[in-house]
Amino acid sequence: MAIVDLPFEPFFSNKNRAFWNLHSAGWAGILVFRAATGLANGQPLSFLVPVIVSTITGYSISLILSSIYRVVFDRQSAVLWGTSVVSLSAAIGAYAFIDAWVFQTVNPVSDTNFVRLLVGQLFIDGILLSAWSALYFAINYYVRAEEQADQLFRLEAQATSAQLTMLRYQLNPHFLFNTLNSISTLVLLKQTEPANAMLSRLSSFLRFTLVNEASARVTLEKEVETLKLYLDIEKMRFEDRLRPSFEIDEEACDALIPSLLLQPLVENAIKYAVTPKEEGADIRVRAQLLGSRVRISVADTGPGMAGAKPSKATSSTGVGMANTRERLTQAYGPDHRFDISSPPGGGFEVIVEIPYEHKVEPGSETSDASGGTPERRGMINA
């Protein structure tokens, strides 16, 4: 049996339609209630005439009140409530007068004089219009509160996205400068083939960094492919001194992680493990799925924090590490792990542990294409 997905639209997404639906349903309910009550108490069918006229009158007067309320809704409190009370009092008086006149016209033989009818209708109509006004203001204040909450959420999302963008593009520019210098050197030496290969890999790597948004998440498999592009470029500079290896569990390949999360960690290892040592160093990237968590580690065989100079030890956990830590905090809040360790014998290791999230196939779920909640601005009004 085919399942039809019905698009969900918030009730207050269209303010005019919501107002007319609520307004019409409310007065229709009052008409049905008053008519049913009168007929149940043995009133003749002629009783329905003043009830229908009264409902139409209330429907029309409340429309006038809504227009007045809409004009003064955003004014100062004194103007808002002063105008509302005066308008409501005048509306109740006019409503009661029309109801009393219609009742006396339909029932000319009634013993009740006009003044008594007017006083009785003032009470009944006052309750109706006061309740209508209270609901009007309550619903509009509720919608305004929801709008402010939505706006605050959007602003927070924009701030987070901007911060993620700043963090991701805060990559070490020395990589780009060194690569371009290496390409320039190869060109001067007329080694066009390796220069072209290096330029092609740099182009592929930069294309990835520009295409993916800062807040985007990619599969671990795609991240590793991009990381290998970066390492291929660096291997052309360091040759056999740079010895990378990967141990990626197949189950973890489809895990989603923030794009370019691992590049600063590997760059940090190259800078402080490969560069200072003539023999270079090994860099091992591992990833495994542990239940509902993904653990990724980047380790090297360099001097580590104990073997480096104090300034370098501090810097090695500076921009790159702080950048990665902050991105993880922005993406996962407290639900992540970021540990660094450096054994006394040398070496340096960074361990990242995040919740396992996998890529959703297209069409398996429905999302808002705009990436946010529908706009809900203005008054619930005609």
C-alpha to C-alpha distances, 224 to 129, 152, 229, 241, nearest whole angstrom: 67, 36, 9, 21
Please state the rounded mean pLDDT for residues 353-377: 55
pLDDT confidence tier of residue 377, bands split at 50, 70 and 90: very low
pLDDT confidence tier of residue 316, bands split at 50, 70 and 90: very low
pLDDT of residue 374: 38
pLDDT of residue 369: 36
* Tokens found for residue 61: 């007067």
CATH 3.30.565.10 assigned to domain 170-355? The reply is yes
Q: Is the pLDDT of residue 283 over 80?
A: yes
Which residue, 287, 298, 283, is CA-closest to 351?
A: 298
pLDDT of residue 9: 65
Please state the rounded mean pLDDT for residues 130-147: 89
Which residue, 371, 373, 364, is CA-closest to 8?
A: 373
pLDDT of residue 63: 92
Cα dihedral 241→247→252→257 (10° resolution): -20
What SS3 state is found at 295? strand
The more confident residue out of 62 and 155 is 62
Q: Is the pLDDT of residue 270 over 60?
A: yes
Q: Is the pLDDT of residue 232 over 80?
A: yes
Q: Is the pLDDT of residue 367 over 60?
A: no
Query: Strands 242-248, 281-290: parallel, antiparallel or unpaired by DSSP?
Result: parallel
Q: Is the pLDDT of residue 150 over 90?
A: no
Which pLDDT tens digit goes with each residue over 33-55? 888 888 888 888 878 888 899 99
0.95 surpassed by pTM? no
pLDDT of residue 17: 84
Which pLDDT tens digit goes with each residue over 50-105? 889 999 999 999 999 999 998 988 888 898 899 999 999 999 999 999 988 888 88
Q: Where are the beta strands (DSSP E) in the chain?
A: 217-219, 242-248, 256-258, 281-290, 293-300, 337-341, 348-355
Task: State percent of the chain over pLDDT 90.
Answer: 29
Query: Strands 217-219, 256-258: parallel, antiparallel or unpaired by DSSP?
Result: antiparallel
Which pLDDT tens digit goes with each residue over 299-312? 999 887 765 554 34
Q: Is the pLDDT of residue 366 over 80?
A: no
pLDDT confidence tier of residue 111, bands split at 50, 70 and 90: low
pLDDT of residue 313: 36
Residues 74 and 277: their CA atoms lie apart, in Å, by: 70
Q: For the chain, what are the domain ranges?
A: 11-161, 170-355
pLDDT confidence tier of residue 346, bands split at 50, 70 and 90: confident
pLDDT confidence tier of residue 166, bands split at 50, 70 and 90: low
Task: State percent of the chain over pLDDT 70.
Answer: 79
Which pLDDT tens digit goes with each residue over 175-227? 677 778 888 888 888 888 888 888 888 887 777 766 665 557 889 998 898 88
Average pLDDT across the chain, whole number: 80
Of 165-174, 234-243, 277-286, give the range with the top mean pLDDT.
277-286
pLDDT of residue 1: 45
Q: Is the pLDDT of residue 345 over 50?
A: yes
Amino acid of residue 144: R
Please state the rounded mean pLDDT for residues 137-160: 81
